[in-house]
Amino acid sequence: MERSILRLPYILAKYSVYQNPRKLTVAGTGIRISSNYYQSSSTNAEISKDGTKVKKKRMNPSSSNVSHVDRSIQDENSSLKRVRDVNTRKLPESFSELLDKYSKPKLFYNFDKSQTDFDESQMNKLGISREKDHILDFLNSQGDFVNAKSTDIDIIQENKRECRVESFNYSLAAYISVCMYSGFYESAYETFNYYRNLKMVNSEGLNLLPFNEVLKGIACQGDLIRMKEVMISLEESSLKPDYNTIAYCLTCLGRNENTPEVVDEIKNILKLMDQNEITLNEIIGNACFPGDSFHHCLLAIERVIPDARNKLETVNSTMDYVLKESSYNHELVNNLNKSLFTNQVGSRAEGAVPFDKLPELIQEQIDNELKGIIQIPKLNAEENASNIEKDKKLWEEWNEEWRKNLQEALNKYRAFMSNAFYDPELGHLSYFPYFNVLSDEDVIDVILDEIKMFCKMPHDWGSYSTAALYLGQNFYDCFVKRNREKKQTILRNVYEKYCYSTLYPSNPGASYIPRVEWNKILTKENYTMNWNDCPLEWPYTIKLKIGYMLFNFIFDNVKIWRHGEKPKDSIPGFVTSYENHSHIFKPLHHLRRVFKSSARNTYNVKVDKFPMLSPPVPWTNANNGGYTIAKSELVSFFTTDYSNQIKKVEEMYPMLDSLNFLGSVPWKVNCDMLDTIIKVFKNDGWTEVGVCPSPKSLPDPPEIFSSMTSEEEDEALQYKYELGRVYKIWFETDKNLSILNYFRDKIIWFPYHFDFRSRIHPISSHMNHMEYPDLIRSTLCFAQGKKLGKDGLTWIKLVAAVESGCPEDYISHLPIHQDGSCNVLQHFAALGRDVEGAAYVNLSPSKTPRDIYSRIVELVEAKRQEDARNGNEIARQLEGLITRKALKQSILIRIYGGTKTGACRSILRGVKELNSFTETLRMEALEYLDENTYNIFTKEFESFLKIRDWLRKIAKGISQRCFKGMEFETPIGFPVIQPYTMEKRPFTQQEDVIAPFDLLSSLLPDVQKQRRSFSPNFIQSLEASHMMLTSLYCQEAGITFVEIHDCYWTHAATVSIMNKICREQFVRLHSQPILENFAKSMIEKYSSHPNFEDVYTTFSTEDATPASLKDLLNKIPQKGEFNLKEVLRSDFFFS
């Protein structure tokens, strides 16, 4: 099936060579492409609509001249007029059916206009007919229901139906948006008009999103008649307009002449605005205006309200308005509003780069993002370059031939599809508008860049469908980049002013908060409306289809040959095979070898995985932030669910400001440290300090002979495995050091984003302070130094400072870390107000630091000694083997929801002596250690067990009885959505898939993963909330702050300030009724669910007593007597 999908563009191109297609029409559910042709007597077997085989006459191409078709489709109307004047006949039935099957999304079949509801056959086409089977599989997998209901299937189907409607609306809106972008105005409008009249399941119509997208296109055209038609339809649909709806109507009217009729329409729109309690400031400040739409919108308003421009706060950028629009509305951070507009706090990046060099750095950053890939010279470049130059020449010859072949194939494909594109009078959707958003040059660049990425992989790419989705995603990212490139004038103007205000603050009215300062500059320049206009995310099925189509171009046009051969001797460079029940995609070994040889002295790295040479663009909403041109995701696991959750951006202000604050900190490479590490690395490494030795210095693995004993064979295999691991570490170290060497003497910034738990990570995965090994991390330091001051020497022991004669004046760039003392358990103890638990994890003050892990090891060892005295042989064998290092990781695995198997594996890695035990004894020893460790831990830390079990029970109840994954809001307001599902998003276009949705809520949850993961995810979201609060108050205090989850970094001179803020914000966070608020939100969300009071087995550690979700949510774990304010006096809380 997938191979058939891939062949479609090839077939399209083939037919475009032999025939001159003139018109595509749609009849019923089929497609007919008209063309001149001759019939021959040869026949071809074909499947008819009723499933029987019939004989069809094969068509041969006409001998007449085929006219040239201009592939540029700027004016769709003239193109359609041209093809309508030609006599047409239909193409072969087989080709029509193939095109009908593979050229449009599964959601968008061309239904008969006489129908207003989906019938059985159309439901089958959507893959809904087998939905019931998937639901039954899910219900049968849950064998512990106490009161399973026959209505469960209906409940699940209703949820899926709602998701289908939502997904349909989003997909249709994305399609309309792309049609408008590609110039297919008529097609976009007629498609909208068709589906507006087609009622979906249970007679539900379209939501507001498609209406707004089509109005945006109508506004750009100034089509007053169609604007009226859409607004009448909107009124009939009982939908309420929003500020975008009003803005696009006014824009459309502003493009028309100033006649009494137009003025009356403007008054009607303003009246509609008042009826829906929408203000002009909301429209101007929040609507998304493409191009020059804002000017025309304002022109329409001024025709009725002549002095509107002077009254609009959004246009005049008054301080009161910006303050009102930028301020927080959350009790944990509201007291920060008083200092939003002040430059007394100072900038963490002030003077980080020379004043006159800033424009050059900004342009270099933008140019790098437009290029997409940076070539990094390798640290260990090979001196013998004869073979390299030979392979580099062959690679260049290949690329030249690939570009030529791909250009020809694209010409044929676009020429065919431009004329085969459907009649706009009929409502049918095609993939062609999506494909048409990029130029041929961009498409070829995407393909060739991905070929490089595939070739540099150390292993086969894997799933063919996954590779196609990845390629389609990069196609979409290129589209976003080109869309942003159109705003480069706006971006360059605002971005440069923002960078200067950040690096050289001088305006007394400037804000120290990047988001506020950015918005203030945007508003002052009247660019807010253009900046807010972003393309809709494409459904993943579209990206998948685009990927398949691009792969077809790769298979047919990317050919390779050997040295000395000619292109006529070429063979395909990529192949697919069927392995492990899936299609595997991989480049031929010769292709991969030549690429690696030609690029042997360089690393090709994507810019969107790299640090920036200028400050990141502040996050102001879910679409804008991070890199300047390249696409950045606010949430690394971003789906339509998040776009639905993040509706009111003002509720995200504290979280966005935390991202922006972390991203505003400049870094640099410690060149002295880097040079030292490089010197050791080039001299065969030094294992003791973490520098990997060169694999070339190690002996080759021994050959394995049949005469070897099993022990000798195991040793040989183990050495081979370790040698492979050394190779991997060495090459990774070489790459990391090469990247660091590339950035020596440069100032860099890391853009940040969230994961689904709300934890913050750098987007630049190829170089950062968080995910690099300690060896590489040691080379990074703050770009801006700070004097040690009075307390600096307490936190840093620096010889240079002592020798300087005045240690307080020594300027230090070194980050000082403060770690939470088992931060997960600190949050559990605070939630449960557990006195003993708080003492174990240093929430309460003490003279010396306490260690929960050492305490557990003492108790496990005492239990072992007791068991040994009582004759337990396993306990005797374990004498001297129980250490903190051996058991710490297994405790953490259990805390974070890991399994017993995972904990045992961790113990085995920590107690290597167990490998000498017999297999039976080893398994018994592992079980003994894990069971005793876990039992003692849960007994000592009672609050952990109670709260964890309560959270797990709720997660199980919601996922098993309400058929939903866990979704909740953190104390600071971030929407967390657990992505664990039993169903997977379909990667094929077979008829039995459920439907192409990008909504997690449409997929049945994996109950066990939802249950097991909820407790650690809930606590990690509290960790993130604590970190964000700490960062915001450190920002107000004017000190540098960065983090690695529960490890906080700052300058030596400001550690005391950070420690104080860290403790205060932990107390403020846990002074909130966190568990109570969570339970209340779950009751509000699920109390109306039919299964809310169903009794189910909870699988509790304490007991397995059946309970209902209602009972659990109303039975919050009892709390202890710990006083949270004790944390303020604890020296070792973070230390």
CB 662 within 8 A of CB 752: yes
Q: Is 367 a catalytic residue?
A: no
CA atoms within 13 A of residue 767's CA, in its CB half-sphere: 30
Structure tokens at 95: 């080709």
CB 962 within 8 A of CB 1089: yes
Tell me the three state secondary structure of residue 54: strand
Query: Which residues lie closer than 8 Å to 84 by C-beta, 6 or more apart?
Result: 23
Task: Please state whether beta strands 1047-1050 and 816-819 pair in parallel, antiparallel, or not at all (unpaired).
Answer: antiparallel
Which of the following is catalytic: 216, 481, 888, 964? 888
Q: Is 50 a catalytic residue?
A: no
Q: Residue 511: phi, psi to the nearest 5? A: -105, 140
Where is 319: in which H helix or E strand? helix 319-326
Q: How many other β-carbons are positioned within 10 Å of the β-carbon of residue 1071?
A: 12
Instruction: Give the whole-angstrom CA distance, residue 253 versus residue 263.
Output: 8
Alpha-helical (H) ranges within 421-539 are 432-435, 440-456, 464-485, 488-503, 514-524, 528-531
**DSSP per residue, 1019-1051:** HHHHHHHHHHHHHHHHHHHT---EEETTEEEE-
- Which stretches does DSSP call E strand in 1056-1106? 1095-1096
Where is 908: in which H helix or E strand? helix 900-910
Instruction: Give the whole-angstrom CA distance, residue 140 versus residue 1094.
Output: 17
Which of the following is catalytic: 819, 992, 1103, 1111? 819
Look at the alpha carbons of 131, 137, 141, 146 in this order and tell me if their dihedral is positive or negative: positive
Name the residue with tokens 């010279």: 377
Q: Is 888 a catalytic residue?
A: yes
Say if residue 705 is exposed, middle or buried (CB neighbours under 10 Å; 0-12, 13-18, 19+). exposed
Name the residue with tokens 């390629």: 471
Per DSSP, what are the bridge partners of residue 23?
Answer: 34
Any long-range contacts for 441-445 (C-beta under 8 Å, 24+ apart)?
Answer: 442/478, 442/482, 443/406, 443/410, 443/475, 443/550, 444/402, 444/403, 444/406, 444/407, 444/410, 445/372, 445/478
Which of the following is catalytic: 477, 1046, 1094, 1110? 1046
Per DSSP, what are the bridge partners of residue 686?
Answer: 691
CB 198 within 8 A of CB 426: no
Instruction: Give the whole-angstrom CA distance, residue 837 versus residue 1036.
Output: 33
**DSSP per residue, 362-420:** HHHHHHHHHH-EEEEE-TT--S--HHHHHHHHHHHHHHHHHHHHHHHHHHHHHHHHHHH
The amino acid present at 673, given as its one-letter code, is M
Distances 1112 to 323, 810, 1008, 1012 between C-alpha atoms, Å? 43, 58, 18, 17
Instruction: Give the whole-angstrom CA distance, residue 37 versus residue 87.
Output: 11
- Which stretches does DSSP call E strand in 205-359? none
Q: How many other β-carbons are positioned within 10 Å of the β-carbon of residue 810?
A: 23
- Angle formed at CA 1120 by CA 1118 and CA 1125, multiple of 5 degrees: 130
The amino acid present at 380, given as its one-letter code, is N
Instruction: Give the whole-angstrom CA distance, residue 548 versus residue 528.
Output: 37
Distances 101 to 32, 90, 195 between C-alpha atoms, Å? 12, 17, 20
- Which stretches does DSSP call E strand in 653-779? 667-669, 752-754, 760-762
Residues annotated catalytic, as ranges: 819, 888, 1046
